[in-house]
Chains A and B, each alone.
Chain A
Amino acid sequence: DAKTTQPPSMDCAEGRAANLPCNHSTISGNEYVYWYRQIHSQGPQYIIHGLKNNETNEMASLIITEDRKSSTLILPHATLRDTAVYYCIVRGGYALNFGKGTSLLVTP
């Protein structure tokens, strides 16, 4: 699976949009981009995934660049409960290989 690069930490004010970037410049054509998050001391939670088109669900939006070398997860209106570590994972096979992720802190 391709390697991903994410900033180690980010802050966001409550109610504002949180934009979390991910670089995956070595992604191959059949690999999907997945986003999970892990709230402290809990199991990871699935957020969203995509191949090349932008995707949106009730939790977030995923914007993938045309060359697929990077993506951005957008939480449109961040709340305090969105404070977590966010993992961007490029998945080609069956298992998920987690990197270090981005620790997002949402502040009041």
Chain B
Amino acid sequence: GAVVSQHPSWVICKSGTSVKIECRSLDFQATTMFWYRQFPKQSLMLMATSNEGSKATYEQGVEKDKFLINHASLTLSTLTVTSAHPEDSSFYICSAPGQTQETQYFGPGTRLLVL
């Protein structure tokens, strides 16, 4: 099946710094990718839809100036958490639709800890 990778798999940073997370589709192209966030013992929450060549679409309540999304190519989307604070500590997961658009393939996730 299609493979989606994320880098880094985990990151620890100081409060106030910015962190970039990459999401790559390894063997297929994705004009759209999705970013989710998951807090401990909770379900995945959709944050935004990343669109290649155009602006991302953010879900209600998600600050677009804090979570910057860039879909630089057909295989790469990046999420930058700007001026991270401890409450941003979470598990960030990306996904991309497969070629048939019927299924989505998820990355392994990036665990962010802000101290």
Contacts and interface: CB of A to CB of B under 8 A. Distances in A.
Contacts of A94: 32, 49, 97
Interface residues of B, number: 24
A101 B91 CA distance: 17
Interface residues of A, number: 20
Contact of A96 (B91, B95, B108, B111): B95
Contacts of B36: 98
A99 B44 CA distance: 8
Nearest to A101: B43
Interface in A10-40: 32, 34, 36, 38
Contacts of A32: 102
Interface of B: 1, 4, 6, 32, 34, 36, 43-46, 49, 91, 93, 95, 97, 102-109, 111
16 contacts: A36-B106, A41-B109, A43-B6, A43-B106, A43-B108, A44-B44, A46-B104, A46-B105, A94-B32, A94-B49, A95-B34, A95-B49, A96-B46, A98-B44, A98-B45, A99-B43
